[in-house]
Chain A
Amino acid sequence: METSREDVGIAIRSAFLKKGTQQRFSLFALIVFSIILIYVETIEAKPLDYLRSFIKDTIYRGSVVVSLPSKGFKSVVSTVANHLNLYNEIIKLKEENAQLQEQIYDPGFLIFENKQLRQLLDEQVTSSANFVSARVILDKQSPYLNSFIINSGSNKEIKNSMAALDGKNFIGRIVDVNFFSSRVLLVTDLNSKIPVLVEPSGHHAILSGHGTNEPTLEYLPENHKVQSGNKVYTSGKEGIFSPGIPIGKVRMGTEKIFVSLFSDISQIMFVNINLGDKNN
């Protein structure tokens, strides 16, 4: 019995403490160092933040370079698939064209009205808010976080908790800011909880991500009148985001109330970051 215990002890010592053949570090030392790193991650200090930013920026750039072949391969596959579908698409387009030719009428008034409404919308948004556009450099949808890495950070005055938009639709918020990059946590992520307003009923709720394409509405009042097709906007409660940013449409499930997002998150290449009110 004594010998068996000694054997286990020797095996553990050999595995953990000795450096082993051609190993520069012992496992035990590295495990302790990892635990220290996890603890250090919770400490907020300027020098540590700079160091973290530097490490993250460097790794993101490396990751972009390493992802190039797989991105190139995906692009080739997509190009080939598009070429293969050309014939079917031409037939479909010809049919659509024929239908449109039949329905054609003078759209002058609609163009004018549309232009005016667009101007009005632009004025409403740009007058109160300040946007920065950024390119998505990494969109690794991990099982842990549904997030993007964008190529702007504190160098463009981006800060934590700012709203990220696709066009004018809300898609997530900033959760990690480095010098030249930031992480956008998408509304679909398990850790995402956004205060929202459902129109036209006017109910306040929390939009909660589940790692799937459709987040759900939670904390609605018991006798709510939310129906399929109702629009969901940011409520601006808690003062985190501007109110009235469109998010999606309600889809009633059997047990949960889902929200179909206005933006297709898998297709986003550029995002707008809402830097907040210009006046503040």
Chain B
Amino acid sequence: MAFSFKEIKFKFLELIPLLLLFFISLNGNSVIDFKFFSINVHYILIYYWVLKQPQALGYGFIFLSGIITDVVFGLPIGISALTLLIIASVAAYVRAVTVRPSLLYDWMSFIPALLIANFIYFIALYFSNYSIDYLYFFKNSIFTFIFYPFLWVIFGILINFTKSGSHA
């Protein structure tokens, strides 16, 4: 009985990224607004988990999460899904070419992911006739980049928990 409880506990830990992905999409918390800055948690979550443990976040779920975000935020359906998949693509590419992963390497490779994703986002919104605050998005990208190491540490702890559970 104790074993099965432990098993359930670690299964739940493995599901946390997926639950978090859908929670932030449905709850409309993809972009967390603080007083002077905002962070796109969605981007960091997807980039980190596709890079470190792709089996934890299926591409289909990422797509679905993007669709939900679009509906909740009132954007044309498909824009966030496309952007999140671009982030996942860059992460998958970086994973394929990285021999010795490190925080610095992950962090620096997050820059092209943000640039490409935001570029595609702007283009898609422009052609859908949506006005957006460019300065807001610029600041959001900068702070999302700055905040990456904090979530890198937190998610790292979660991965360690999961690993220790699976080895026990």
Contacts and interface: CB of A to CB of B under 8 A. Distances in A.
B112 to A, nearest CB: 13
A30 B85 contact: yes
Contacts of B82: 31, 34-35, 38
B73 A140 contact: yes
Given A25-B60, A34-B82, A140-B73, A70 B133 contact: no
Contact of B78 (A20, A22, A37, A175): A37
A55 B95 CA distance: 34
Contact of B76 (A26, A41, A140): A41
Nearest to A189: B131
Contact of A175 (B26, B74, B85, B124): B74
Interface in A211-237: 211
B3 interface: no
B124 to A, nearest CB: 6
A66 B140 contact: no
Contacts of B4: none
B23 interface: yes
Interface in B122-140: 124, 128, 130-133, 136-137, 140
A60 B27 CA distance: 10
A119 interface: no
Contacts of B88: 27
Interface in B107-161: 124, 128, 130-133, 136-137, 140
Interface string B42-86: 000000000000110011101100111001111111110110011
A53 B31 CA distance: 25
Interface in A77-124: none
A54 B97 CA distance: 42
A269 interface: no
A63 interface: yes
A41 B78 contact: yes
For this complex, into which size category does the number of interface residues on chain B fall?
35 or more
A23 B59 contact: yes
Contacts of B85: 27, 30-31, 34
A41 B63 contact: no
Contacts of A66: 23, 26-27
B38 interface: yes
Interface in A129-157: 138, 140, 142-145, 147
B33 interface: yes
Nearest to B97: A11
A191 B131 contact: yes
A190 B92 contact: no
Given A23-B58, A34-B81, A191-B130, A147 B93 contact: no
B162 interface: no
B128 A38 contact: yes
Contact of A63 (B27, B86, B131, B137): B27
Contact of B71 (A22, A55, A175, A191): A55
A38 B79 contact: yes
Interface of B: 23, 26-28, 31, 33, 38, 54-55, 58-60, 62-63, 66-68, 71-79, 81-82, 85-86, 88-89, 92-93, 95-97, 124, 128, 130-133, 136-137, 140
Given A63-B68, A138-B72, 16 more contacts: A16-B89, A20-B54, A23-B60, A25-B59, A27-B85, A34-B78, A38-B76, A38-B78, A59-B26, A59-B68, A59-B71, A63-B27, A142-B74, A143-B38, A144-B132, A185-B74
